Structure 1
Amino acid sequence: MAKIVAGVATSHTPLLTLGAAQWIHRANVDYENPELNTSDGRLMTYSQLLTEVGPRYENEVDVPTLAKKEQQCNDALDKLAAFVAQVKPDVAIIIGDDQAELFNSANQPAFAIYHGQTAYTIDKLREPTTPDWLRTVRKGYMLDQVHGLPCDPQMALTLIKGLIDEEVDVAASDHVEDPLDKGFGHAYGFVVKRLFAGLPIPIVPVLLNTYFSPNVPSSRRCYNVGRAIRRVVEAIPGDQRVMVIASGGLSHFVVDEPLDRQIIAAFENKDADFLQSIPRGALNSGSSEILNWVTAAGALEHLNVQSAEYFPLRRTPAGTGVGAGFVTWA
């Protein structure tokens, strides 16, 4: 039977595609964001956040400090890429979130699986006025032109049918109509470019709606869908070696370091109860991508965490930014 032999979870923040000196561009976005999310479910402006917490992180946002964190993250990503190359799976199930890249409010499934032959990324560099820093991000995400990501449609079809039998009513998609308009986004392109590093590993894209109300699944639902994914995969005849990869997270756009560390500890300790009870208020905006990790953890609960690194990437004095995590299971 097929077997899930390894797992990876990685952040995919734009900061991981930029040099530290360019992180100021993302900080400027935070300064103008009217809905910065805190883990108690509140949304606020940067000025409101600064009034509440003060400039407590002003000593962390100078370029030399950020450059050190940039290097730490790149080293962590290199380790993940080396781990993928060592395992060399026959197929990788990538669990990511769609941010109106392939779907939109006309049809936004909570869970979807793509069973086409090729997943095409969306071209987001057709606008000539795109600033240079954002062009760099797009290239790091494989959104600089239409890229074809090889898939495993047979594995995907089996997974869809098996999940339906498991009473997970997953949506199905088999082609991208026009990748100049809609296509696969950064959750998938980042993993293929940065972690596969040229290895021809076919993928099964699993798309979660973590961002958009009203049909965002709970952490409990996500964990149990992950468990169902494992049951289906390990009932497939043959000897395929499968890797499960979670893309996104952790907390952002206000860094919640205690929450992020609790989540990683829950992976290490196989604390399913904690992972299934993360409050919805802590899973707004970018922090909602934690659900990708929770889903993967459900599929990987039979394995042990082999490595875990975490870096709070604060980019403003009030602590906006992203909690960057890098985890492997085997």
Structure 2
Amino acid sequence: MTITMHDVAKLAGVSIKTVSNVVNDYQYIKPETRARVLEAIESLGYTPNLSARGLRSGRTGVISLIIPDLRNAYFAELADSVMRAAADEGLAVLIQQVGGKRAAEIEALHGPRMTNVDGILYSVLALDESDVDQLVIDTPLVLLGERIFNGPTDHVTMHNIEGARAATEHLLAQGRRRLVAFGAHPGEVIGSAGLRLVGYREALEAAGVEFDESLVVTVGNWHRADGAEGMREFLAKGIPFDGVVAFNDSIALGAMRVMQDAGIRIPADAAVIGFDDIDETRYTLPSLSTINPGRDEIARVAVQYLKERIAGGAHSIPPREYLADFELIERESSHAGG
């Protein structure tokens, strides 16, 4: 049986209008009345009709999160962080997975579903800076990711170059000099892989270590299986190495399995460090050193920026750029005494 606003009003001993005012967060309500209505809502398990609420207020209380791929652990954990941050702001989240496909990303931005949300958080993958015109929409929008900088709206992201440089410096400080840059995308300049390769190269240059193109390993997709296949192909070449700077944790985990199957001891023979600090890295054998890119901070700031745009209008605030703090987390895979 569907619980209605009428049922809540009857249990709380107030009018339906009062219940509506509480649901829509109308500020001029006595605290004791608000408490009584909220208690009735919880007791009955009443869920507001967001569509009807949107017709009355112009808001649905729902935002959209557009992400490339939930199979990628980083995006799955980012979605969790966004949902928790949104809940703290009284917002629900509609997740759209677009598979890193250009047409799907454009449809997600401009399709009819966007009329049912108050704002959009968009983790860009297929579009790039030549597609800025696609971002000029009436719905409040905040960008995540590394594909588009200097766009027409807010951009919240991470320190890709600095994080990769810190990861590389961490292994160089142990005296390791043959470091694999694992996860490159040839020709990419703007994007996680391109930026992290810049950080890797900066660290080598600062340490006086010559860059060796043979140590740059391409991994097209950043899933475990791709990391395993990339490391398998690299080992077949017989190129000596004593460390791996993996451009994300998932491919690092795939690579570690192949290395261990080949008899390579981690970290004694080769140290490994990843990027993203996904939950699984704490429980692998050995546990994986990584860069925590500030995922919770990214989610919190992005939701706050979006809420401000929703309140003032999509184009009410000049574009803002925010980079979250990062942290290097040393675990067993790169422990100097390993």
The answer to which structure has the higher helix fraction is: 2
TM-score where L is the length of structure 2: 0.32
